[in-house]
Structure 1
Amino acid sequence: FDLRYTGTNNIFGISLYDSSEAFADTETAAALKKAADQLATRGYGILVWEAYRPWHISKLASDLLPKDKKSMLPSPDKGEDRNTGRAVDVSLYDLTSGEAVTMISDFDEVSVRQFPGFTGGTEEQRTLRDLLVSVMTKNGFTQGKEEWWHFTLGDLKGWQHLNIPYGQIK
């Protein structure tokens, strides 16, 4: 894990969570494990940047963002997929070195590089992004439209947006 909102290495520069654990619903965790197992055969592991996000953290994040970056996050008014426990923000790391691989952009980079269809970067970065997308989608995830690192498992119809603080999750 490299849970970015548990420390200061994020767009806000402050910690948003008191926990260093990532949470997801059971199906999402199982699908993520299958994807990780498939990537391991290629020498990569899944680096989790974020998973379940309580609604109050979505609201706080929205409030903290400068006006010119508000479009980066969904409005917290209706909740978002991260509030269901069925969305994850992920990247890759090298299993041999244990180091994160260099992808097309960093987590929460607000630039054209964040978009899934970005054609810049190096060939290796695009190949790694495409590998991640391929394995995640084969395991039931849909890639987000605005962030190459964002994936949601299945259809969210009928899924409730939750506001359970991390310390109360069992």
Structure 2
Amino acid sequence: MRHPFLLLAATALAACGAAPPARQPTSVATQAIVRIDPVRPVAELRPLALAAVPPAESGEFRASDLVELVALDPTLRLDIRYAGTNNFLGTPLYDQARAFLQRPAAEALARVQRSLAREGLGLLVHDGYRPWYVTKMFWDATPPAQHRFVADPATGSRHNRGCAVDLTLVDLGTGRELEMPSAYDEFSERAYPRYTGGSAVARANRDLLRRHMETEGFAVYEFEWWHFDYRDWRSYAIQNVRFEDIPPRP
């Protein structure tokens, strides 16, 4: 996880009689790996997180039905950053490069993908369901001054419930990412959905993604343009199952 929003750049230009800005592939700047200096090495934090117990929750929850995204819609593209070193901690956090969501959220995401395809665009997914122990590693590794960019394991993340997804847009013709105001997982104001800097093209791309996601019941997180929560996230409990232990579902 990572405030009124701007008029879309395309709308503003249209009001002046100009055409919307052309979509552009990602610039070198927004492709840069953004990293932090962890408070403690991840290698030390992993066994502690695996041995920890998620917070107890009260109330009634829906049965978990985590669906693998590419099994539901093979046209979805993945770039699971936490399965490699291209992430803010610079080390693998997941054992497998896979993405899951609770079925209603996964089906809504597939509808977004179909809608975008009519505009020659598609989704590139960086993260979906996240086991709770990984959220604990994020929190324990991140300096307190930057904790607003990561979820508190004491309350859990919407990723832990299988109802949050991190993603961006790609051009279906070239396969390249569209320019956005910040890099993924960038710990700065450029990541905010209401950020007014950067290029008009990047802001228009960001807001286009948001419009499509909101149409299908997702809401953007106030500190991260790439993070979207599905509307039913409160209906699911925190999960701590590893990817390899999630049973395949049709």
Q: TM-score, normalised by structure 1?
A: 0.96
**Which of 212, 231, 242 is residue 154 of structure 1 equivalent to?**
231
**Which of 113, 131, 135 is residue 36 of structure 1 equivalent to?**
113
Q: Kindly report which structure 2 residues correspond to 1:158-169, keeping only aligned pairs within 5 A, or say none.
A: 158-169=235-246
Q: Tell me which residue corresponds to 2:156.
A: 79
**Which of 164, 185, 189 is residue 108 of structure 1 equivalent to?**
185
Q: Give the gaps of 5 or more residues in structure 2.
A: 1-77
For the residue of structure 1 that corresponds to 2:159, the secondary structure is: helix
- Highest CA radius of gyration, 1 or 2? 2
- Offset from partner CA, 1:42-65 (integer Å, 9 cap, x none): 111101011000000100111111
Q: Kindly report which structure 2 residues correspond to 1:87-102, keeping only aligned pairs within 5 A, or say none.
A: 87-102=164-179
For the residue of structure 2 that corresponds to 1:157, the secondary structure is: helix
Greater shift in the superposed pair: 118-127 or 64-73: 64-73
- Offset from partner CA, 1:58-99 (integer Å, 9 cap, x none): 001111112332221121111110001111001001101111
Q: Which amino acid aligns with 1:100?
A: E
For the residue of structure 1 that corresponds to 2:184, the secondary structure is: coil
For the residue of structure 1 that corresponds to 2:235, the secondary structure is: coil
Q: Distance in 1 between matches of 2:210 and 2:83?
A: 25
Q: Tell me which residue corresponds to 1:24.
A: 101
Asked if the contact 2:163/2:232 (under 8 Å) is kept, the reply is no
Q: Which amino acid aligns with 1:159?
A: Y
- Matched length: 170
The percent of aligned pairs where both chains have the same amino acid is: 39
Q: Which amino acid aligns with 2:139?
A: S
**Which of 145, 151, 168 is residue 68 of structure 1 equivalent to?**
145
**Which of 123, 128, 137 is residue 46 of structure 1 equivalent to?**
123
Q: Distance in 2 between matches of 1:17 and 1:54?
A: 9
Q: Give the gaps of 5 or more residues in structure 1.
A: none
Which of the pair has the greater relative contact order for Cα pairs under 8 Å at 6+ separation?
2
After TM superposition, which residue ranges in structure 1, 4 or more long, deviate above 4 angstroms? none
Q: Distance in 1 between matches of 2:207 and 2:235?
A: 30
Q: Distance in 2 between matches of 1:90 and 1:12?
A: 18
**Which of 191, 198, 217 is residue 140 of structure 1 equivalent to?**
217
Q: Distance in 1 between matches of 2:105 and 2:232?
A: 12
